[in-house]
Amino acid sequence: MLHKDTFRTALQKICVKRKVSNVEDLLSEKTTVKPKPRFVRVNTLKTTTGSVIEVLSKMHKVDKDDMVPDMLVLPPGTDMHKHPLVTDGKVFLQGKASCMVAAALSPKPGWKVIDACAAPGNKTVHLAALMNGEGSIIACELNKERAKTLQHTVRRSGANNIETVIGDFLNIDTNDPSYAEVRAILLDPSCSGSGISTERLDHLLPSYSIGNCMLWR
């Protein structure tokens, strides 16, 4: 933001050089933007990937993701927000980057794991699914309002091995015997998916307004 005026001046110079009157014309000149697919994660605590594919394939083309287990790829623009699979917690609308975090940690059933910055909870319940609901997860969230979202996500997922702690995980007493068996910590403070603007530099454009900021998770 400190260099906002510099960026805008540079953008104006590019528009003059390309002989276009505004940013939209500049973008439409030769740019082809490939639409992003809709990623969804199957909640294996409540259903199976095969069952979800069977339901969704009646309405959409469905592919399995080649990197993240139990992640499905749907056509761009697919609206799943009110689909029963989503409202029942059998499917989570979760970006691929967000899903890769728990998959990279790859916790084993029976482990004790801390999710250090847990809200809104998508990665927390993904951990629970990867652990087959076995073991335990301590989900820490500093913000009380975000903690409510976390608790709602946990309830929707059906996970019963998650303990929510409202507070800073840095204040955990490492001498407390209850943490002695912790095998791993998931730490994603920037939150890979939730609340990130699709176009991260949109606020630098003259046409930018708060209402145009699109969020994904």
The whole-angstrom separation of Cα 53 and Cα 30 is: 37
Q: Tell how many helices (H) and how many strands (E) occur in the chain.
A: 7, 10
> Residue 74 pairs with which residues in a beta bridge?
38
Instruction: Tell me: is residue 37 an annotated ligand-binding position.
Output: no
Instruction: Tell me: is residue 4 an annotated ligand-binding position.
Output: no
Instruction: Tell me: is residue 212 an annotated ligand-binding position.
Output: no
**Which letter, b or e, does each residue of 10-28 get, where b requires 16 or more Cβ atoms within 10 Å of its Cβ?**
eeeeeeeeeeeeebeebee
Instruction: Tell me: is residue 102 an annotated ligand-binding position.
Output: no
pLDDT at residue 77, as a whole number = 85
pLDDT at residue 44, as a whole number = 98
Instruction: Tell me: is residue 63 an annotated ligand-binding position.
Output: no
Q: How many CB atoms lie within 10 A of CB 54?
A: 11
pLDDT at residue 109, as a whole number = 97
Instruction: Tell me: is residue 120 an annotated ligand-binding position.
Output: yes
User: Under a CB-based contact definition with an 8 Å cutoff, are residues 96 and 39 in contact?
Assistant: yes
pLDDT at residue 190, as a whole number = 64
Tokens representing 39 are: 């990623």
Give all domains of the chain, ordered by start, each with its CATH number. Answer: 38-191 (3.40.50.150)
Instruction: Tell me: is residue 141 an annotated ligand-binding position.
Output: yes
Instruction: Tell me: is residue 95 an annotated ligand-binding position.
Output: no
Q: What is the pLDDT along the chain (217 residues), one digit of tens a residue?
A: 788 889 888 888 888 888 888 777 777 655 566 788 999 999 999 999 999 999 999 999 999 999 999 999 999 889 898 999 999 999 999 999 999 999 999 999 999 999 999 999 999 999 999 999 999 999 999 999 999 999 999 999 999 999 999 999 999 998 999 899 999 999 987 655 544 444 445 455 554 444 333 333 4
Instruction: Tell me: is residue 188 an annotated ligand-binding position.
Output: yes
The whole-angstrom separation of Cα 137 and Cα 127 is: 8
The whole-angstrom separation of Cα 160 and Cα 179 is: 19
User: Under a CB-based contact definition with an 8 Å cutoff, are residues 71 and 51 in contact?
Assistant: no
Tokens representing 136 are: 């335990």
The whole-angstrom separation of Cα 22 and Cα 207 is: 9
User: Under a CB-based contact definition with an 8 Å cutoff, are residues 183 and 113 in contact?
Assistant: yes
pLDDT at residue 57, as a whole number = 96
Instruction: Tell me: is residue 123 an annotated ligand-binding position.
Output: yes
C-alpha closest to that of 39 among 126, 124, 115, 118: 126
Tokens representing 82 are: 């009110």
